[in-house]
Structure 1
């Protein structure tokens, strides 16, 4: 599997044209390539996230929730494919990925789909004429770096809450375990 960058809803190669070999830990054999991105690719991803932010952040919370729930259902639908990719990428048993890690990623999207519609604003009196309150508003693009050991689960733990809150995301998965992040981009596009 060759893992391209996923920017602005499209898989695109690194602007520098460079690739990194990706190896299956169980065999040590190469099984694909990963786009070797540089600052230009990051800038393109940030620009796309900034461009998408006004539309995404203005969606009603119920609509963001519906979309996150749809991603959860797609993860569940493609559980076997995602588990195989995670197993090859990380060298972990496929049953562990299929029964624990991939379902947990789907549950993260479900959890934050619920959270998107359950935000509350607190207010506290501060003296006789003042009121302190908290507003929860989207801030803009969020940068997210995820590790190699639980690629999809920990990526979902970062991406789902940011999206639920109305932010857009620039995610950087580990270059040694990019497969499920690549596939998650496809599912989000779907």
Structure 2
């Protein structure tokens, strides 16, 4: 049976608790993998790693950052067969859908932001007095990314790639329902030589490790896609801490079946 691992400080590590969740194939109801049940101890390791990596990652040349992201994009394409199989087994989606949408888009997300970061403008405005107002784009620090089950790698990379491109370090949690492709992304990041601590992936349940990520004072921004009720809970925790928030919540389209 496959045993997934957390990705912390460039290493694949078991959960501190030693506890695992079942990863279930929805088509067969078979347990095919074990998922780390991460806790606050794992999060503290990730925070330490991200803090250590942040000064260098935020100040390296933009072209170097883009090079890492492009390398990850290329490796996603090179490992597409394994990633497609992972999405199908984990999520139950048709092979053709993972092959034509999910995995190509995951690669495109890294490539897009690798190119975009080299084109971000810096705006300035002349004043009537001998002075100039200007905008300066700077990383916010450590960013928490929490993604849903329906587009596992697609939306996971849509959150991670822009945060990394902008010079932030990331602590990310995939859905505990569909974590397999995110685990494979950890291995891809190792192959790409991504500096240790720049990206950290923690597996586990939303009401434990997800909540801990949202509430940690050293995580300065949260990007979340999921249910409206969960989004309300995240906002209630993050807003008093003045964290930057991106919340993509439940659909609003009525359906008659």
Q: Which TM bucket (shorter chain)?
A: over 0.9
Correspondence for 1:40: 41
Q: How many Å separate the matches in 2 of 1:181 and 1:158?
A: 12
Deviation at 1:99? Answer: 1.3
Give the structure 2 partner of residue 173 of structure 1: 174
Query: How far does residue 20 in structure 1 lie from its aligned partner after superposition?
Result: 0.5
**In the alignment, what sits opposite 1:15?**
16
SS of match in other structure, 1:166: coil
Quote how far apart the aligned CAs of 1:119 are: 1.3
Tell whether 2:5 aligns with 1:4.
Answer: yes
Structure 1 residue 131: deviation in Å?
A: 3.1
Aligned mates of 1:49, 1:126 — CA distance in 2: 40
Q: How many Å separate the matches in 1 of 2:131 and 2:178? A: 51
Q: What residue number does 2:244 align with?
A: none
User: For the residues of structure 2 that align with 1:189 and 1:126, how far apart are their CA atoms?
Assistant: 48
Counterpart CA distance in 2 for 1:170 and 1:126 is 41
| Deviation digits for residues 17-60 of structure 1 (CA, Å, limit 9, x no counterpart) | 11101100111110011000111111111111111111211210
- Cα distance, 1:98 vs. partner? 1.1
Deviations 1:65-97 (A, max 9, x none): 111011110000011110000111101011210
SS in 2 for 1:152: helix
Show the counterpart of 2:217.
Answer: none
TM-score normalised to the size of structure 2? Answer: 0.72
Residue in 1 that maps onto 2:122: 121
Q: Distance in 2 between matches of 1:33 and 1:126?
A: 60
Aligned to 2:59: 58
Structure 2 residue matching 1:113: 3-state secondary structure: helix
* Unpaired stretches in structure 1, ≥5 consecutive residues: none
Following TM superposition, by how much is the alpha carbon of 1:126 offset from its aligned partner in structure 2, in angstroms?
Answer: 4.8
- In the other structure, the counterpart of 1:87 is 88
Q: How far apart are the structure 2 equivalents of 1:118 and 1:111? A: 11
Moved over 3 A (4+): none
Counterparts of 1:52 and 1:125, CA distance in 2:
37
Q: Please give the per-residue CA displacement for 1:118-174, whole angstroms capped at 9, x wherever unaligned.
A: 111111235534533211112211110011110101011011111111111100111
The residue that corresponds to 1:74 in the other structure is 75
Distance 1:46 1:100 in 2: 33
Which sits farther off after the overlay, 137-146 or 104-113? 137-146
CA distance in 2, matches of 1:118, 1:162: 15
Question: What's the RMSD between the two structures over aligned residues?
Answer: 1.1
- Structure 2 residue runs without a partner (length 5+): 192-257
Structure 1 position 155 matched with structure 2 position 156: yes
2:121 alignment partner, SS class: coil
Secondary structure of the residue aligned to 1:22 is: strand
Matches of 2:159 and 2:114, distance apart in 1: 13
